[in-house]
Amino acid sequence: MIRCGFICILFMVYGVEAQVASVGPPKPPLGKRWVLNPDFSDEFNGTELDTTKWLNYHPTWIGRPPGLFMPSQVSVKDGFLQIKGEKMKQDTIVHAYGKDIVFNIKGGAVVSKKAAFLGYYECRVKAAATSMSTTFWFSGNNVTGPKGCDQYSQEWDIQECIGKQGDFKGSYFASGMHSNAHYWYNDCEGERHDYRASQVRFENEEVASKDFHVYGGWWRDALHASYYYDNRAPKHQKFFDSISSKPMNTPMYMRLVCETYPFPWISLPTDEELADDTKNTVYYDWVRGYELVDVHESTTLKPEALIKIYDEGVYFEQSVLQVKSTNKLKIPLTYKANVDRTVTLKLLNEEGKMVAQKKFTAHAGYANMEFDFELLQVPKRSSNYKLVSHMCIKEQKDQILDINTIIINLKN
């Protein structure tokens, strides 16, 4: 008979050294894991925009007057996607939408070539210190509405802000995070309506141009979204659903945009601001998209997806786990891995002798799972057991990267 005074399970993850990161998606649903979607992810570490993923213009919108979207204002350098706002040397007249429009400010837009659907999306960005926008949002094309004779399109704004300091029209918009969801509806009579969900806001006294911030949005389903600002607790939103029970049900394109807002809603940028290179540029450090897959689903990672997002490890969310005495334990855990890892579970008795061992592949991503571990016998009395996780580097098995401990309280 095996005498178990305590249980020690060693989690060994073999691979390259991890890099600590303070960002990433929220905890996934049980049995799922977040996997980076390279179509909507970019670290902007090159010298030019990746044209396999992005357009350096807006394909259906030239900009809001007096700001014209121009590819010349978009660049990738110094580790950032940069979009610069500038004053034109002279007014420019563009014939669009059936009329002549006057522009005198240069802005820019970067748009994904593919349309996104559901998932978690985040960016790290430092706003321009002008009254031109710094934005991270999604929108789609018109589709047939629920009545057949109507149409609708979707717009999901994770973040809209400006970074200008001081007292001016619209200054409330210069700090924090502002998230909106629009259901643009053309009824059967041809009238256009802007139906909105209740705005989600995070307050911050510091203007958005003073430092970088992380803005995230989880498009959960056709009716719900959650928003994340730096390391704060999330806030949640229900989309407008008076016309359709599934208002956000079609893919949308990602937009990174620096535009002018209409006066007098927000003051237009001054010529001095637009001439100041310390103020007139938006800096996107990176943008990332994630999709949910099953915990054990194998995925083929493209080279650009092999980035060190996570502080890799196996984690327990509580210090004590109370379960009914049984020989089949369900151990709730999460793990984070930048590439596929091998996790080895070792069951030790009180003398430190290994009495059982199991392995599973921890596929790259952020996973939430329950692991079944079977004891050789049911303990005859209520007992406290100790569960320990060790994470090691493959090439240096004695070098421990991570240790976590949980007490398992088995009650008869």
What positions carry a catalytic annotation?
Answer: 155, 160
Q: Which two tokens stand for residue 72?
A: 């010349």
Angle at the Cα of 297 from the Cα atoms of 291 and 300, rounded to 5 degrees: 75
Per the CB < 8 A criterion, the answer to whether 64 and 266 are in contact is: no
- Residue 262: cis peptide before it, omega within 30 degrees of 0: no
Rounded to an integer, what distance in angstroms lies between the CA atom of residue 393 and that of residue 401? 7
